[in-house]
Structure 1
Amino acid sequence: MQQLTQKLGSGDMVIQEVPYPQLGKGMVIVKNHYSIISAGTEGSTVVAARKSLIGKAKERPQQVKQVIDTLKKQGPIQTYRAVMKKLDAYSPLGYSCAGEVIEVGEGVTEFQIGDKVACAGAGYANHAEIVSIPVNLCVKLDDNANLKDAAYNTLGAISMQGVRQADLRLGESCVIIGLGLLGQLAALILKASGVTVIGIDVSEAAVNQAIENKVVDLGLTRNAAGVEEQILNATQGHGADAVIIAAATDSLDPINFAGAIARKKGKVVVLGAIPTGFDRDPFWYRKELELKMACSYGPGRYDLNYEEKGIDYPLPYVRWTEKRNMEAFQKLLATKRIHIDYLTTHEFDFDNAKDAFDLVVSKSEPFTGIALKYNTDKQATKSKIATAATDKLGKINISFIGAGSYAQGNLLPNIPESAEVGRVGVLTNTGTTSKRVAEKFKFQFCATEEADVLDDKTNTVFVATRHDSHGAYVLKSLEANKNVFVEKPLCLLESELEDIIEAQSKANKAVMVGFNRRFSPLTAKLKKAVGNNPMTMIYRINAGSIPKDNWIQDAEIGGGRVLGEVCHFIDYLTYLNGSLPIKISASALPDANQLNDTLNILIQFENGSSGVIGYYANGSKAMTKEYVEVFSAGMSATLDDFKVLRIYGKGKPKKKKLLNQNKGQKEMVAAFVNGLLNDGNAPISFQEIVAVTKASFKVLESIKLGGQQVDV
């Protein structure tokens, strides 16, 4: 299927063939009929992408700071890879569309194949022939719905949320500053509600369009003579009950102008992208004005449980969610209480989408709404897409399932370039990522179907998906008689672990988990120095906080930070002392969100060694992240952030310092591939992997038991 993409680095925009999207649980596959270009949001993205690197840096100072922080901590190589991944990626465009359902995912009951629907969401409702949409970002339409109008779904919901935040009553007045798409949609909704609407814009053409289509009761340009007095007269001398700012600008004029024209104790709602550093006097303070933000489509936006898992908010407690806002907007269209056909000033066939965006950027002629129309007679297939000229195979033939930031920065670049190593297929959730990764790292194809990357060509699978799918993909790979490398953790459920143990026993294939730290060059020197004596170990991790709504913290998707990351450090201590963990006790610092991500863990090992893991989310970012101390048979050693190793014994202490941090990712991938080439075995024994995974589960068990020691 075809999708419109742009590279952030070069600004190149192209419609390209990408794999058919994945149908996940709680999702539907939709064939687009129309999608709408947002001149504001998408236009600014396209303009930024076409700027120079310096121009991009000026646009995104916060991201520049992140690059500098990465450079300080991880060195130039990892920083370069991270930056280039962003710049070279195929970035999908679009977030508002309408079409018909052609597939229904597991657990979906409200949609059927053939339903007409309107869709929303950046990364979902793309400018593409086929899209995959979560149920709470999709609304069902009448069979006779006008799909071109319905495709304004996202913009309508955003405007609807701005209106709801204004909380106006029949007969009250509202001034809308900015008469672009959002402003005009908000005005239409307000007029349908019996509110007096006054529209303001710097563009005379936008004001005239609103007046001619009876969108506003009064329309004025911002620089019109006596504009404040005219608004005062139109509101019976009181001022506006509410002001909705739907403009996008760096100027403080909209927020200060809103203060001047609002009535005493009125409301100002920020719907567009503007600064809010208003002047306290003479208006905001003396009028006791209320400033409110409108968060995108409404309640549920940015909530993983709502948008990705499809868990709705109970209607009696949250009357208007983002989906219910969409439904309300579509009902206004269906009942013809609002008419928006005039907003579509331009329509392009999808094949000419690049021309549409050139119009947005150049502004060579006036426009408001731009619709892309799709060829609905075209049949989409799930065939894999060739991305390399060769189909040559080697002794080890690798396919990837999942290829996000970590895989692109640390796994894929480190696969050895060798005639004995073949690169077969790539499968990810998004077709754009699959296509770019397959091209960049010279895989033979990108795919939609799991069967394509688990066929006879592939004998080794790398799994780098979100944590909740690790266990299932490891099982499928083993059942297909493949070696498997899985980015940590191995799985999130003890039942999955038992199934994996059984499957590995039957397949007798190599299973490797991405415990890279044991492969660090400084780790090798440390292990050689401490020898095989029983030892005491301390591993302190200044992990930093992660918001509770991040997917990693979600127990079902990410497994939380114990299963998702602490397993790394259990493995490291297991490797250092050379024996398996047998007893665990753990206690977590109480926190309001019950995240269990600030904790102390005590581990006892078979050979008498003991280790303490201090994993802390409550520290300062200024401190180094990881620090290890080891004590054994009269010697001590410290390892600071995998950059500085100090060994203390007889005589003068020895110090080894690396120019850049090295956590062993390159060495790990090489060891795995070389192990398969040499004897078919992974460099970490399956027994160790199972023991470390069990120990991670036991950490959570001990926390629940109040720190009680439990057997692994």
Structure 2
Amino acid sequence: MKQLTQNLKTGQTTLTEVPAPQVRPGAVLIRTRRSLVSLGTERMLVEFGKANWLEKARQQPDKVRMVLDKVKSDGLQTTVRSVFNKLEQPLPLGYCNVGTVMAVGAGITDLQLGDRVASNGPHAEVVCVPRNLVAKIPDQVPDEAAAFTVIGAIGLQGIRLLDPTLGETVVVIGLGLIGLLTADLLRLNGCRVVGVDLDEAKLDIARARGIIACNPTKGDDPVNFVQNTTDGIGADGVIITASAKNNDIISQAARMSRRRGKIVLIGVVGLDLSRAEFYEKELTFQVSCSYGPGRYDDDYEQKGRDYPLPFVRWTENRNFQTILRLLASGSLDVQPLITEVVPLTEYARIYGSIGSSKAIASLLEYPEAAALEPTVRHRAVSFAGRKGVVGIIGAGNFTKMTMLPALKGADIKYIASANGLSGTALAQKHGIAHSTTDYHKILQDDEVDLVIITTRHDQHTRLTLEALKAGKHVFVEKPLAIFQDELVEIEDFFRRNTPALSLTVGFNRRFSPHAQKMKSLLGSAPMNIVTTMNAGHIPASSWVHDRTVGGGRILGEACHFIDLITFLTGSLVTDVCMNAMGQSPDETTDNASILLKYANGSTGVINYFSNGSKAYSKERVEVYSQERTLILDNFRTLKGFGFNSFSKQKIRQDKGHRDQFRILLESVKTGGEPIIPLPEILNTTRATLAAVESLQRKEWISL
């Protein structure tokens, strides 16, 4: 199928061939009929992509500071590579989609095959959208009108925050598509509406819809205009739907408001507020978040947990339904706003001149019969007779930024991703033969020897077992399991089956040249090891912190250093204790200290902290043994104290990924021994789970 994407590095808009998505539980698979181009939002993305590096930096000052911090901790080369990889990732365009239901995921009972629906799906021939972001279209609403559902909900949410009453005067600054819809909805709400814009054509549309028009380019001063219109009272409310880099608009909004008036921002403007302007009138200012309550809440959007109506009357989905009802009744008429309807294949007619376009609303029209193959071939190559052929399940940041560069030169036949786009982009960049949204293709292909799994953590155990049962060697990015019963399943598999297949977990630190050097210097005597991970803050809303999805950062990341200490000591963990910052035990804490006892008498300490400075090194390892000390700083510099023939080793940052995959592929090709002994993998996973259990029980846990 075809999908529109934007390259933020080059500014190029492309119609890309990608595999069709598979329906997911709690989601709906939709064949697109029409989609609306959001000229404001999409214009910003296109123009950002076309900007030079200096202009990009000026537009993203917060990102520049993050990059500078990363240079200090990880080095210039690593940082530049990371930034380039981020910008090269194609961005799906669009969020106003209308189509027909092709399939419904498990748990959905109120939508049927063939239903027409509106959603926030992108510009693609087929989209998979969570149920709470989908609304059924009434029969009397045509596709072209229904395509305005989502963008109409953006304006509606701004109005709900403003909460205007019958007869109030509300100013809408910026009469693009969202501004015109917002003004129209305010008029339906019984408000007197003043529209401000610099484009006379848009103001003519507003006048025809009963909106009072103000054009600063025709000599109208917006503040005086509003004061005169309201007999000196000022506006009861102001909704800003414009886009501007300076602070003039927010200042005008404050000066045209009455005392105790309200200002709501939907657009993007400078926000250097004048305290005096807001203080003297006791003004209220609020930024509106997209379609309404539920937006960016994974529990609502991805897991389908609706907010109870008596407590949250208007969610984003109920806002969608409101717009559709207004369209069905004829109260909201969007037909005059449609400038053009363009076939998907002729998208360049819209995007080629999007920066200077005078269009109000542009629609894309989709073919009735689209190719819906779940797999796309990007390179014609034969893998017959080859050993070490790879299939990758997961196309996220780790795969893109770290793994694929480390796998350079490997025979990769497939890469699977849920939405198809991320996998396709990586396949094209790295010469992978096929991208797919159906990972079963990988498991069923006899030519694939090694399956690499880099999905979200809750899928690791299930996919690992599926691949092993399909007769594949498996590399799974850590953690192997996030619950004890999952680990038991893995153990049972190897207990019942001869170890003809290898299982590797992504404990790459042990393969770093620094770790290898430390191992050669230390010998086998008992030792004390202290490691510190200055992990950095991740917002609480991230999936990583969800106990059932990510498992928490201790399970997902601290396991790296349990394995590293196991490697350095040459022993297995026997007892674990974890203490965390704060009063109450938290399964997903990311500020904790783990104590480890090893069978050979060694001890380990892992300090995993998220509250440190980003400018400080992310990882530090200290080893004390036989009156000697090794200090490893951020896998860049290793210093030795008390060694006769070693004092310092400094190389570019190397956490072992490249050597890990090189050794793994060689092992798969030759049938060699697993590159990490299975007992060590299982012991590390068991110890990590025990750390979480220890925090809950407030005691040491013996393995």
Asked if TM exceeds 0.5, the reply is yes
Separation in 2, partners of 1:362, 1:126: 23
- Which segment is superposed worse, 19-28 or 584-593? 584-593
Distance verdict in 2 for CA 1:591–1:461, change over 3 Å: farther
Distance 1:500 1:445 in 2: 29
**Match of 2:267, as an amino acid?**
G
In structure 1, the residue corresponding to 2:354 is in which secondary structure? Answer: helix
- Counterpart selection for 1:526 from 511, 515, 518: 518
- Is residue 432 of structure 1 aligned with residue 421 of structure 2? yes
* Alignment correspondent of 2:625: 632
CA RMSD of aligned residues (A): 1.9
- Judged with a 3 Å threshold, the aligned counterparts in structure 2 of structure 1 residues 483 and 88 are, in CA distance, closer, same or farther, namely same
| Residue type at the aligned position of 2:463 | Y
Q: CA deviation at 1:710?
A: 0.8
Pairs aligned (count): 697
- Match of 1:293? 287
Q: Indicate the SS of the match to 2:362.
A: strand
Cα distance between partner residues in 2 of 1:146 and 1:221? 33
Q: Is contact 1:97–1:126 with CA below 8 Å preserved after alignment?
A: yes
Partner of 2:442: 453
Distance (Å, rounded) in 1 between the aligned partners of 2:73 and 2:644: 32
Report the equivalent of 1:375.
367
| Distance across 1 between alignment mates of 2:614 and 2:584 | 21
Question: 2:486 is matched with which residue?
Answer: 496
2:345 is paired with a residue whose SS is helix
- Structure 2 residue 323 is matched with structure 1 residue 352: no
Give the C-alpha shift of residue 227 in structure 1.
4.5
Structure 2 residue identity aligned to 1:139 = A
Q: Report the equivalent of 1:361.
A: 355
**Does the aligned pair in 2 maintain the 1:588–1:703 contact within 8 Å?**
yes
Pick the aligned partner of 2:242 from 230, 241, 247: 247
* Distance verdict in 2 for CA 1:190–1:225, change over 3 Å: closer
Out of 695-704 and 301-310, give the one that drifted further. 301-310
User: Secondary structure of 2:632's match?
Assistant: strand
Render the CA deviation track for 1:367-411: whole Å, top value 9, x for unaligned: 1011111112x0432342111121234111101101222112221
The answer on whether the counterparts of 2:22 and 2:418 sit within 8 Å (CA) in structure 1 is yes
Partner residue in 2 for 1:221: 215
Contact 1:382 1:449 in 2 (8 A): no
CA separation of 1:504/1:443 partners in 2, compared to 1, >3 Å: closer, same or farther?
A: farther
Residue 671 of structure 1: how far off its partner (Å): 1.5
Match of 1:149 in 2: 145
Structure 1 contact 601–699 (Cα < 8 Å) conserved? yes
Give the counterpart letter for 2:597 in structure 1.
Q
Give the structure 2 partner of residue 586 of structure 1. Answer: 578
In the superposition, relative to structure 1, how do residues 26 and 696 fare at CA in structure 2: closer, same or farther (>3 Å)?
Answer: same
Residue 69 (1) aligns with residue 69 (2): yes
Q: Conserved in 1, the CA contact under 8 Å of 2:73 and 2:616?
A: no
CA positional deviation for 1:507:
6.3
Whether the aligned pair in 2 keeps the contact of 1:85 and 1:405 (CA below 8 Å) is: no
Match of 2:58 in 1: 58
How do 1:206-217 and structure 2 match up within 5 A?
Answer: 206-214=202-210, 216=211
Paired AA for residue 161 in structure 2: Q
The more displaced of 519-528 and 646-655 is 646-655
Following superposition, the deviation at residue 651 of structure 1 comes to 5.3
Quote the Cα distance in structure 1 between the aligned partners of 2:55 and 2:615: 29
- Report which stretch shifted further, 136-145 or 222-231: 222-231
Q: How many Å apart are 1:592 and its aligned residue?
A: 8.4
Distance in 1 of aligned mates of 2:399 and 2:639: 31
Query: What is the match of residue 613 of structure 2?
Result: 620
1:283-319 deviations in whole A, cap 9, x for unaligned? 4222111111111111111212122222222222211
CA offsets 1:479-518 (integer angstroms, 9 cap, x no match): 1110011111112222221222233442631111111111
Q: Note if contact 1:199-1:219 (Cα within 8 Å) is conserved in structure 2.
A: yes
Q: Percent identity, aligned pairs only?
A: 37
**1:56 Cα deviation after fit:** 2.7
Which residue number in structure 1 is paired with residue 383 of structure 2?
392
Residue 259 of structure 2 aligns with an amino acid whose one-letter code is: K
Asked if 1:318 corresponds to 2:327, the answer is no
Contact 1:522 1:645 in 2 (8 A): yes
Residues 653-696 of structure 1, C-alpha deviations (whole Å, 9 max, x = no match): 712222x2111111111121122223343210111111111111
Instruction: Give TM-score scaled by structure 2 length.
Output: 0.96
Query: Which of 335, 342, 349 matches 1:341?
Result: 335
Q: Which moved more, 1:23-32 or 1:53-62?
A: 53-62
What residue is the counterpart of 2:164 in the other structure? Answer: 168
Structure 1 residues 10, 591: closer, same or farther in 2, change over 3 A? farther
The one-letter code of the counterpart of 1:711 is S
Distance in 1 between residues matched to 2:380 and 2:371, nearest whole Å: 24
CA shift, 1:77, in A, is 4.2
Between the aligned partners of 2:256 and 2:6, the Cα distance in structure 1 is 41
Letter matched to residue 155 of structure 1 = I
- Say yes or no: does 1:691 pair with 2:683: yes
The separation in 2 between residues aligned to 1:25 and 1:346, in whole angstroms, is 36
Mean alpha-carbon deviation: is it higher for 161-170 or for 643-652? 643-652
| Offset at residue 247 of structure 1 (A) | 0.6
Q: Which residue of 2 aligns with 1:46?
A: 46
Alpha-carbon separation, structure 1, partners of 2:417 and 2:430:
14
* Other-structure match for 1:196: 192
1:209-230 superposed Cα distances (whole Å, 9 cap, x missing partner): 111233x1x1111343464444
Match for residue 179 of structure 2?
A: 183
Distance 1:225 1:582 in 2: 79
| Aligned twin of 2:23 | 23
Q: How far apart in 1 are the matches of 2:574 and 2:640?
A: 28
Matches of 1:101 and 1:648, distance apart in 2: 67
1:439 deviates by 2.0
Is the deviation greater in 604-613 or in 497-506?
A: 497-506
Correspondence 1:700 to 2:692:
yes
Q: Deviation digits for residues 141-191 of structure 1, max 9, x if unmatched?
A: 223321211112221111011101111111211111111111111111111
The question of 1:474 aligning with 2:464 is answered yes
8 Å Cα contact 2:125-2:370 kept in structure 1? no
Equivalent position SS for 1:372: strand
> Which residue does 1:87 correspond to in 2?
87
1:113-128 mapped onto 2 (5 Å cutoff) = 113-120=113-120, 125-128=121-124
Match of 1:487 among 477, 488, 492: 477
CA separation of 1:465/1:618 partners in 2, compared to 1, >3 Å: closer, same or farther? same
Corresponding letter in the other structure for 1:666:
R
Give per-residue Cα distances to partners, 1:576-610, cap 9 Å, x unaligned.
11111111111111178944211111111111111
C-alpha distance in 1 between matches for 2:477 and 2:536: 21
- State whether structure 2 residue 230 is matched by structure 1 residue 235: yes
Asked if 1 retains the 8 angstrom alpha-carbon contact of 2:503 and 2:678, the reply is yes
Shift of 1:464: 0.9
Residue 422 of structure 2 aligns to a residue in which SS? helix
Judge conservation of contact 2:69–2:614 (CA < 8 Å) in 1: no
Secondary structure of the 1:541 match is strand
Aligned residue in 2 for 1:641: 634
Cα deviation for residue 652 of structure 1 reads: 8.3
Opposite residue 487 of structure 2, the aligned amino acid is L
After alignment, is 250-259 or 262-271 more displaced?
A: 250-259
In structure 2, stretches of 5+ residues that fail to align are: none
Structure 1: segments with no counterpart, 5+ residues = none
Q: Distance in 2 between matches of 1:62 and 1:453?
A: 41
Q: Where do 1:103-122 residues align within 5 Å?
A: 103-120=103-120
